[in-house]
Amino acid sequence: MEPILVAKDVEKIYKNLAGEEFYALNHVSMEIGRKSLTILRGRSGSGKTTMLNMMSALDLPDKGVITCEGTQINVTDESIREQFRRTTIGYVFQAVALIPIMNAYENVEFSLRLAGYQGDYKERIEECLTKVGLRDRMYHMPYEMSGGEQQRVAIARAIAHKPKLIFADEPTAELDTQTALQVIKVFKELIEKEDVSIIMTTHDAGLFDVGDVCYEMEDGQIVGKHDTV
């Protein structure tokens, strides 16, 4: 099956404190399979977030080509990238950024409005919160939920507008391994039932093997690729 996203020879150069240029990404190539969970691992500063930002069209590489279903996404026209981000992508971040004065339902509803979702809001919101196991927490405020539950609301929010790709940067960093594994379980169910591909970064050695593929990064390069299935 054709991969959903292909990154080829991606380079990103930054300047360090001394003003010297260095490769945050150095000829990085990656293929993201359909309906798969891809893990990006590597030490702090190895380039994981930088690569995620390139693949999700948040930032532009200096060189290389990134395509999603054959369409190039690393284009300078910001409005094209914004459109791609809004419609095709969902984001989950390390620090769960739920809106504190909105309950779980309203948080998901808010993101549907931002995405300009066409469809029945109530039905979709309830469906997404049920999928992440929060059917009976739908009207809880963030402060009434555990860290793992809040992260699951964030996941419901990321999938609500039916993106093809979900990018999750250290989504489990603030969770213990047991709770992190529950989040992974939710990811896998979503891949099955929502037809999405998920790319996540992690430091947690307990999670390196939970995906379909694990890329290992070091100093801006890919130094290993393990298929775990």
Ligand X SMILES: Nc1ncnc2c1ncn2[C@@H]1O[C@H](COP(=O)(O)OP(=O)(O)OP(=O)(O)O)[C@@H](O)[C@H]1O
Contacts to Mg ion by CB under 5 A: 48-49
Q: What angle do CA 2, 189, 123 make, to 5 degrees?
A: 105
- Among 188, 183, 207, 208, CA closest to 198: 188
State the residue number with the nearest CB to Mg ion: 49
* Beta carbons within 10 angstroms of residue 135's beta carbon: 11
With CB under 5 to 8 Å by kind, the binding choice for 45 among Mg ion, ligand X, none is ligand X
Helices 104-115 and 78-88 pack at an angle, to 10 degrees, of 140
Instruction: Considering the complex, state which of residue 63 and residue 164 has its C-beta at the smaller distance from ligand X.
Output: 63
CA dist 73 and 56 (Å) reads: 8
With CB under 5 to 8 Å by kind, the binding choice for 202 among Mg ion, ligand X, none is none
For binding to ligand X (CB under 6 A), which residues are involved? Answer: 14, 24, 42, 44-50
Instruction: Considering the complex, state which of residue 105 and residue 215 has its C-beta at the smaller distance from ligand X.
Output: 215
Closest approach, Cβ 48 to Mg ion, in A, equals 5
Closest approach, Cβ 219 to ligand X, in A, equals 9
Closest approach, Cβ 16 to ligand X, in A, equals 7
With CB under 5 to 8 Å by kind, the binding choice for 24 among Mg ion, ligand X, none is ligand X
**b/e for 199-224, b at 16 or more Cβ within 10 A?**
bbbbebeebeebbbbbbbbeebebee
With CB under 5 to 8 Å by kind, the binding choice for 79 among Mg ion, ligand X, none is none
Instruction: Considering the complex, state which of residue 50 and residue 88 has its C-beta at the smaller distance from ligand X.
Output: 50
Residue type, 51: M
